A and B are shown apart, each in its own frame.
Chain A
Amino acid sequence: MKYILEVNQLKKEFKDFKLDSISFKLEPGYIMGFIGPNGAGKSTTIKLIMNLLKKDGGEIKVFGKDHIKHEKEIKDRIGFVYDQNYYYEDLTINQMRNIVASFYSKWDDKQFNHYMSQFNLNPKSKIRTLSKGMKMKFSLAIALSHHADLIIMDEPTSGLDPVFRREILDILYDIIQDENKSIFFSTHITTDLEKIADYITFINDGKIVFSQSKDKILESYAIVKGGPELLDDSTRKKFLGLRETKFGFEGLTDDLDLFKRNFGDRVLIERASLEDIMVYSVRG
């Protein structure tokens, strides 16, 4: 099995949104960040991978197998964390654990109890009474307690404080030390990805903008800054995204050499962050 997750030409159409033949691949042992603005298609893609939504076309393979033909076997090896709590609110943590544990072939109570104490969760607490962060911790504890080989997370860090966000990232980093495991997670907090992701897939308006290694992306893109006198119509077209003020401009490019050649020292070139890439690409 070369790829732990393969999405090929995946299509899904709704009344007001279309996921347009998206493709990307994730190898074992890596973390892939799935970024994009709200409504870009991140949650739709994750729901399609989990077969919660039915695809209109294309192919999804998990662990080298079709995700529908081998659904049960595949889901036994996936840990999932969603952007909101879908667990039964009337139950206690312990009751919910009892329910979920019966479905997995490799459920590990020891591991679950370890995360319960690490996250300071009381097994007798009702899920309804947990804060957003605590609910996320609980979801994460469930996802990590059945020896999953692929962890799929939809916006796991949104709405969480920086301390807990860092705690989650550290745990994910630990998991990935096992080279057979992979993590696929969507987020719009791109700074989280800059810390731990190996690959970045950027989706915008239902289309994949890029799916590459993080280092290559950060090498390929740059922010160019300069005075307003340098801009003309042909120069403007060479930016992927441009912000102009009366004092100057700031733009994103993936053709750094062109700007170096044409403007030399008259422009300031800076490293683009993932957030810059996302913001400029979306706004244009």
Chain B
Amino acid sequence: MLAVLKKDLILLISNKRELIFMLFYIPFLIFTVDSYDPKMLYFTIIVTFAYLTSLSSFYHDIDGKGKYILNSLPITARRIVLYKYASIFFHLVISIVYAGIYLWIINLAGITIVDYFNIEMIFKAIPIVMLIISIIFPAYILFEPRIAQIINMLVFLGFLIGMVNLGALGEKSFIKMIGIFQGNSLTYLAIIMYLLSLLLSMVLYQKKDL
């Protein structure tokens, strides 16, 4: 597990495109997302960061050229999938630390006032990331990259539209109406989806020709 995490971290910090994205994504969201609740901005940043970094690492090793190397190393296909699913929590931690430092500096500089740490939003972000990943990861294993990318785009757009809807309409938004953020039902759903998705991905990946 540590070897896989180490690989993900080295890849993350050495990929210029991802570094540039990480650098400009937070200011982009701050100046474009006009949220009814400042906490939601923090939530959006955490979710998108964790999701995109997890997906990037997954794509590198499951569908990119790196799959030949990783699958030739002493690690089984089951373990690769298991570690990829487990590593979303590692990416969540990285996102929380990175967003925390970045937003703290923004607050300190007096550019705008935003949450740089909010435990309530972190707990809300975790099941959302798990849910998104539960759909996207098997899609990348099951379908050819083009179709998987379309599914990925639809899921990500769905999330962003939900956030925009919540930001614009507040209490009257669709998100509030269906009560996604109320109670524990979302957490239970996320756990079930995550475990089912993990098992499905393990089976699919073991049978997949690389």
A interface vs B, CB < 8 Å? 47, 50-54, 71-73, 75-76, 78, 80, 82, 86-88, 90-92, 95, 98-100, 102-105
Question: What is the distance, in angstroms, from A69's C-beta to the closest C-beta of chain B?
Answer: 10
Residues of chain A with a CB closer than 8 A to B10's CB: 91, 95, 98-99
Question: What is the distance, in angstroms, from A157's C-beta to the closest C-beta of chain B?
Answer: 19
Given contact pairs A88-B11, A90-B14, A73 touches B74 in the complex (Cβ within 8 A) = yes
In the complex, A237→B76 CA distance in Å?
Answer: 50
Report which residue of A100, A104, A105 has the largest number of chain B beta carbons within 10 angstroms of its beta carbon. A100
In the complex, A101→B200 CA distance in Å?
Answer: 30
Q: Which residue of A lies closest to B2 (CB)?
A: A102
- Give the interface size bracket for B toward A: 20 to 34
In the complex, A80→B3 CA distance in Å?
Answer: 19
Partner of B7, one of A72, A99, A105: A99
Q: Are B74 and A103 in contact, with the CB atoms below 8 A?
A: yes
| B210 interface contact, C-beta 8 A | yes
Report which residue of B2, B10, B75, B208 has the largest number of chain A beta carbons within 10 angstroms of its beta carbon. B10
Q: Are A75 and B74 in contact, with the CB atoms below 8 A?
A: yes
In the complex, A92→B77 CA distance in Å?
Answer: 26
Q: Are B76 and A100 in contact, with the CB atoms below 8 A?
A: no
Partner of B16, one of A53, A90, A98: A90
Q: Are B14 and A75 in contact, with the CB atoms below 8 A?
A: no
Residues of chain B with a CB closer than 8 A to A54's CB: 207-209
Q: Are A75 and B11 in contact, with the CB atoms below 8 A?
A: no
A72-B76, A95-B10 provided; 12 other pairs, C-beta below 8 A?
A72-B75, A75-B75, A82-B68, A88-B11, A88-B66, A90-B14, A90-B16, A92-B14, A100-B69, A102-B3, A103-B73, A104-B74
Given contact pairs A72-B75, A91-B11, A86 touches B69 in the complex (Cβ within 8 A) = yes
Q: Are A86 and B68 in contact, with the CB atoms below 8 A?
A: yes
Q: Are B68 and A52 in contact, with the CB atoms below 8 A?
A: yes
Question: What is the distance, in angstroms, from A24's C-beta to the closest C-beta of chain B?
Answer: 21
Q: Are B210 and A53 in contact, with the CB atoms below 8 A?
A: yes
Produce 1/0 per residue, B186-210, CB < 8 A to A: 0000000000000000000001111
Q: Would you mind naming 18 contact pairs between A and B with Cβ atoms under 8 Å apart? A: A50-B72, A51-B77, A54-B207, A54-B209, A71-B76, A75-B73, A76-B74, A86-B65, A86-B68, A90-B15, A90-B16, A91-B10, A91-B11, A92-B14, A98-B10, A102-B6, A103-B3, A103-B73
Produce 1/0 per residue, B44-73, CB < 8 A to A: 000000000000000010000110110111
Given contact pairs A71-B76, A90-B16, A99-B7, A53 touches B71 in the complex (Cβ within 8 A) = no
